Structure 1
Amino acid sequence: MTRYANLAEALKERALQRPSHDALVHQAGSGAAAPVQRLSYVELDARATIVSAWLRARDAGGRRVLIAMDPGPYAAVALLGCLHAGAVAVPVPAPSDSRTDAERTAAIARDAAVDLVLTETAHATETSRRLSLVGRADLTCLAVDGLRPDSRPQHARETQAPARTGPDNLALLAYDSGPATAPRGARLTHGNLLTAMVALRRALGSGRRSRIGGWLPRHHTPGLVGQLLHPLWLGATAVTLPVHALRADPAAWLRAVSHHRITETVAPDTLYARSAAVATDELLAGLDLSHWRTALNAGEPVSAATMATFPRRCAAAGLRTGTLVAGYVPAEGAPVLFATGRGTVPGADAAVVDPLTARRLPDGATGEIWLRGPAVTTGHWGGPPDTAPLFAARAAEGAGGFLRTGDLGLAVDGGLRMAGRLRDTLLVDGLTLHPQDVERELLCRGRPLGSARVFCDGLGTGRLVVVQEVRAAGGARTRLPLLAARIRAGVAEEFGVSTGALLLVRPGTVRGVGAVKVRRSLLRERYLRGELRALHAEFAPGPAEPACGGAA
Structure 2
Amino acid sequence: MTGSRSFTEHVRKRVAEAPGRDAVLLLGDDAGPAAPHVLDYAGLDALAQRLAAWLRDRGAAGERVLVLCSSPGPFVAGVLACLYAGAIAVPAPWPGDRRAHARRAAAIARDAAVGVALTSRADAAVVSQLLAEVGRGHVPCLPVDAVPDAGDWRMPDLRPDSVALLQYTSGSTREPRGVMVTHGNLLANQRAIARTLGTAPGTRLGGWLPLYHDLGLIGQFLHPLWLGATAVLMPPAAFLRSPAAWLRAIGDHGIAVSGAPDFAYEQCARRVTDAELSQLDLSGWEIAVSGGEPVRERTLRAFAERFAPAGFRAAALTPCYGLAEATLLVTGAARGARRTRRADPAALAGGELRAPEPGAPARTLVGCGPADAADGELLVVEPETGRVLPEGRVGEVWVRGEGVAAGYWNRSGAAAAPFHGSAEGAGAGWLRTGDLGVAADGELFVTGRLKELIAVAGRHLYPQDVEDAVREVSDAFGACVAFGVHDEPERLVVVQEVRAGNRYRLDLAGLAAAVRDRVAHEFGVVPAALLLVRTGTVRRTTSGKQRRGTMRRLFLAGELRPLHQEVLPGVPEAAGPQERTLR
TM class, shorter-chain normalised? 0.7 to 0.9
Q: Please name the residue that 1:97 is paired with.
A: 97
* In the alignment, structure 1 residue 385 sits paired with structure 2 residue 413: yes
Offset, 1:132: 1.4
- How big is each residue's C-alpha offset from its partner over 1:361-396, in whole Å with a ceiling of 9 and x where there is no partner? 334543222111111013111123222221111122
Offset, 1:171: 0.6
2:495 aligned to which of 465, 474, 480:
465
Paired with 2:269 and 2:170, the residues of 1 have a C-alpha distance of 31
Paired with 1:255 and 1:528, the residues of 2 have a C-alpha distance of 48
Q: Please name the residue that 2:556 is paired with.
A: 510
Offset, 1:77: 1.1
Paired with 2:442 and 2:7, the residues of 1 have a C-alpha distance of 28
Q: Supply the AA of the counterpart residue of 1:11.
A: V
- Report the secondary structure of 1:394's partner residue: strand
Cα distance 1:402–1:247, how it changes in 2: closer, same or farther (>3 A)? farther
* In the alignment, structure 1 residue 224 sits paired with structure 2 residue 217: yes
Offset, 1:350: 1.7
For these two proteins, the number of residue pairs brought into alignment is 474
Offset, 1:339: 1.4
Paired with 2:54 and 2:259, the residues of 1 have a C-alpha distance of 34
- Report the secondary structure of 2:11's partner residue: helix
- Report the secondary structure of 2:67's partner residue: strand
* In the alignment, structure 1 residue 270 sits paired with structure 2 residue 259: no
- How big is each residue's C-alpha offset from its partner over 1:54-112, in whole Å with a ceiling of 9 and x where there is no partner? 01111221111111113412211111111111111111122322333333323322322
Is the Cα–Cα contact under 8 Å of residues 532 and 549 in structure 1 kept in the other structure? no
Paired with 2:413 and 2:432, the residues of 1 have a C-alpha distance of 15
Is the Cα–Cα contact under 8 Å of residues 377 and 399 in structure 2 kept in the other structure? yes
Q: Please name the residue that 2:332 is paired with.
A: 339
Is the Cα–Cα contact under 8 Å of residues 66 and 91 in structure 1 kept in the other structure? yes
Offset, 1:405: 1.3
* In the alignment, structure 1 residue 327 sits paired with structure 2 residue 352: no
Cα distance 1:31–1:295, how it changes in 2: closer, same or farther (>3 A)? closer
Is the Cα–Cα contact under 8 Å of residues 14 and 226 in structure 2 kept in the other structure? yes
Offset, 1:144: 0.4
- Report the secondary structure of 2:65's partner residue: strand
- Report the secondary structure of 1:105's partner residue: helix
Cα distance 1:259–1:411, how it changes in 2: closer, same or farther (>3 A)? farther
2:188 aligned to which of 191, 195, 215:
195
1:171 aligned to which of 147, 164, 169:
164
Paired with 1:34 and 1:364, the residues of 2 have a C-alpha distance of 52
Offset, 1:230: 0.6
Paired with 2:261 and 2:170, the residues of 1 have a C-alpha distance of 18
Q: Supply the AA of the counterpart residue of 2:213.
A: H
Paired with 1:491 and 1:306, the residues of 2 have a C-alpha distance of 19
| Structure 1 runs not aligned, ≥5 long | 427-453, 468-483, 518-525, 539-547
Offset, 1:466: 7.4
| Structure 2 runs not aligned, ≥5 long | 335-368, 455-478, 486-492, 498-530, 560-565
Is the Cα–Cα contact under 8 Å of residues 170 and 176 in structure 2 kept in the other structure? yes
Is the Cα–Cα contact under 8 Å of residues 464 and 498 in structure 1 kept in the other structure? no
Q: Equivalent residues in 2 for 1:239-278 (5 A)?
A: 239-247=232-240, 249-278=242-271
Task: Return 56-65 or 180-189, whichever deviates more.
Answer: 180-189
Offset, 1:129: 1.5
Q: Please name the residue that 1:57 is paired with.
A: 57
- How big is each residue's C-alpha offset from its partner over 1:402-440, in whole Å with a ceiling of 9 and x where there is no partner? 1111122333565534322223699xxxxxxxxxxxxxx
- How big is each residue's C-alpha offset from its partner over 1:286-343, in whole Å with a ceiling of 9 and x where there is no partner? 2221211111222222222233332233222222352112221225443224212365
- How big is each residue's C-alpha offset from its partner over 1:242-291, in whole Å with a ceiling of 9 and x where there is no partner? 22331453322222222222111221222223323345554333222121
Paired with 1:499 and 1:388, the residues of 2 have a C-alpha distance of 24
- How big is each residue's C-alpha offset from its partner over 1:501-548, in whole Å with a ceiling of 9 and x where there is no partner? 9xx9xxx98369xxxx9xxxxxxxx9899x99777599xxxxxxxxx9
Q: Please name the residue that 1:238 is paired with.
A: 231
- Report the secondary structure of 1:402's partner residue: strand
Q: Equivalent residues in 2 for 1:363-382 (5 A)?
A: 363-382=391-410
Cα distance 1:455–1:208, how it changes in 2: closer, same or farther (>3 A)? same
Paired with 1:527 and 1:404, the residues of 2 have a C-alpha distance of 37
1:361 aligned to which of 389, 397, 403:
389
Is the Cα–Cα contact under 8 Å of residues 31 and 235 in structure 2 kept in the other structure? no
Is the Cα–Cα contact under 8 Å of residues 65 and 89 in structure 1 kept in the other structure? yes
Is the Cα–Cα contact under 8 Å of residues 93 and 104 in structure 2 kept in the other structure? no
- How big is each residue's C-alpha offset from its partner over 1:487-507, in whole Å with a ceiling of 9 and x where there is no partner? 755767998979999xx9xxx
- How big is each residue's C-alpha offset from its partner over 1:115-168, in whole Å with a ceiling of 9 and x where there is no partner? 111111111112112211222121111110112xxx543x41xx2x42110101
Q: CA RMSD in A?
A: 3.9
Q: Equivalent residues in 2 for 1:72-91 (5 A)?
A: 72-91=72-91
Q: Please name the residue that 1:471 is paired with.
A: none
- Report the secondary structure of 2:168's partner residue: strand
Moved over 6 A (4+): 484-487, 490-501, 526-529, 531-535
Paired with 2:331 and 2:541, the residues of 1 have a C-alpha distance of 31
Cα distance 1:138–1:424, how it changes in 2: closer, same or farther (>3 A)? farther
- Report the secondary structure of 1:325's partner residue: strand
2:206 aligned to which of 209, 213, 216:
213
Cα distance 1:550–1:375, how it changes in 2: closer, same or farther (>3 A)? same
Q: Equivalent residues in 2 for 1:481-496 (5 A)?
A: 488=535
Offset, 1:234: 0.3
Paired with 1:417 and 1:368, the residues of 2 have a C-alpha distance of 11
% identical aligned pairs: 39
Scaled by the length of structure 2, the TM-score of the pair is 0.72
Scaled by the length of structure 1, the TM-score of the pair is 0.76
Q: Equivalent residues in 2 for 1:519-538 (5 A)?
A: none
- Report the secondary structure of 1:146's partner residue: coil
Q: Please name the residue that 1:19 is paired with.
A: 19
- Report the secondary structure of 2:80's partner residue: helix
Is the Cα–Cα contact under 8 Å of residues 28 and 235 in structure 2 kept in the other structure? yes
Paired with 1:309 and 1:496, the residues of 2 have a C-alpha distance of 21
- Report the secondary structure of 1:400's partner residue: strand
Task: Return 347-356 or 72-81, whichever deviates more.
Answer: 347-356
Is the Cα–Cα contact under 8 Å of residues 464 and 499 in structure 1 kept in the other structure? no
Paired with 1:35 and 1:211, the residues of 2 have a C-alpha distance of 16
Is the Cα–Cα contact under 8 Å of residues 170 and 542 in structure 2 kept in the other structure? no
Paired with 1:305 and 1:493, the residues of 2 have a C-alpha distance of 20
Q: Please name the residue that 1:476 is paired with.
A: none
Offset, 1:192: 0.6
1:162 aligned to which of 155, 161, 172:
155
Is the Cα–Cα contact under 8 Å of residues 340 and 414 in structure 1 kept in the other structure? no
